[in-house]
Amino acid sequence: MRVIWVIARNTFQEAIRRKFFWVVFLFALVAIASANLFSGIAPGEEKKFVFDFGLGSITLFGMLITIFLGATMIPSEVDRRTIFTILSKPVRRWQFLLGKFLGLALTTLVTVACMGILLVVIHSYVAKGLDVNVIKAVALAFFQLLIIGAIALAASTRGSLAFNIVFAVLIYFVGAQSSSLLALAEPEKHLAVERAQHEEAISWKAYVFRGVLKTVYWLVPHLDNFDVRQAIVTESVVPWQTVINSILYGLLYCSVLILVAVVLFQDQEF
């Protein structure tokens, strides 16, 4: 655990000393802080606007930081040959990778926490009271980013920088629409069409298409589970059970991704 922590600490230290990190982070803080100024464009909806704009900023800027750091993590170590001196020390490959992931998670946590605190403060000011749902939404946004970071890191064990970034962004957009994928794959469930009647009507091509969609649905992370904006905007309460289930799902998904990354990294040559 010591070695993992040393690498995680170093990864965090490196991330927060990058100019890119500070530019994006400060821009995000300015965007969230200015949400209240722009809320005037939606009279009577200021609370919803601040929340929507703030959470959108957290997700967007958090994603920029997480994907960039995650995707560059291993390629930059190999390109700069810093990995030679690390792996020639008593560091196992899985420890190195886990340390890198924890460093990335720590950076994302600190970034989201800072942005989240600012959003909670501004939202509480506009709403004239603390809304716990906002905290829940920020926590879920963090786990959503953690999954994307783990995808970028896993891809970076084999892929090039450009591939890793494109891959992670693509997975994010597909994952954010995962329930739509299922709806497309199983229209009879969603459109209340008679199953037998429907199956009779569709061709083999549609079967293949549906199979592909279902496979993609099961492979990509269900990121829409982490999006509670609709519930909050409609002023419904986000149940704790939903939050906990999503967090557990996020942790499980990240664990599987890191396991895959470790397997891919184990026989990698430098």
Partner 1 sequence: MGVNELSNVSSGEVVVELRNVRKEYPTGWGGTILALDDVSFEVYRGEIFGLVGPNGSGKTTTLKLILGLIFPTRGEIKVFGSSPFDISVKNRIGFLPDGPYFYDFLNADELLDFYGRLFGYSKSEREERIELLLDLVGMKRFRKMPLRNYSKGMMQRIGLAQALINDPDLLLLDEPTTGIDPIGAHDIKQLLLQLRQQGKTIFLCSHLLADVQMICDRVVILNLGRVIRKGTVKELLEPTAVTEVVARDVSEEVFERVRGLGVTTERRDGEVVFRLSDHDRVPEVIDAIRACNGHITSITRLTETLEDVFIKAVREAGAPEIT
- Interaction site with partner 1 (CB under 8 A): 2-3, 6-7, 10, 13-14, 17-18, 80-82, 84-92, 267, 269-270
Least separation in angstroms between CB 94 and partner 1: 12
Nearest distance, CB of residue 84 and partner 1, angstroms: 5
Residue number, 92 or 189, with CB nearest to partner 1: 92
Residues with Cβ within 8 Å of 54's Cβ and at least 6 positions away in sequence, in order, are 32, 35, 115, 118, 119, 122, 123
- Pairwise CA distance, residues 86 & 84, whole Å: 6
To the nearest whole angstrom, how small is the minimum distance from the Cβ of residue 85 to partner 1?
A: 6
Nearer to partner 1, 10 or 180 (CB): 10
CB of 160 to partner 1, least distance (A): 14
Q: Is the Cα dihedral 73, 78, 80, 86 positive or negative?
A: positive
Give φ, ψ of 202 to 5 degrees. -90, 150
In which residue are the tokens 């829409």 written? 224
Judged by CB, which is closer to partner 1: 215, or 266?
266
Nearest to 46 by CA among 233, 209, 201: 233
What count of Cα atoms within 13 Å lies in the side-chain half-sphere of residue 143?
A: 26
CB nearer to partner 1: pick between 17 and 205: 17
- Please say which residue, 1 or 191, places its beta carbon nearer to partner 1: 1
Closest contact distance (angstroms) between CB of 89 and partner 1 is 5
Residue 34 identity? S
Q: Which amino acid would we find at residue 69?
A: L
* Residue of 185, 179, 8 whose CA lies nearest to 108: 8
> Amino acid identity of 72?
T
Of 25 and 143, nearer to partner 1 (C-beta) is 25
Taking the complex as a whole, the smallest distance from the CB of residue 5 to partner 1 amounts, in Å, to 9
Q: Which two tokens stand for residue 261?
A: 């990354």
The single-letter DSSP state of residue 39 is G
Amino acid at 208: V
DSSP labels for 110-151? HHHHHHHHHHHHHHHHHHTS--HHHHHHHHHHHHHHHHHHHH
Pick 236 or 266: Cβ nearer partner 1: 266
Q: Least distance in Å: CB of 78 to partner 1? A: 10
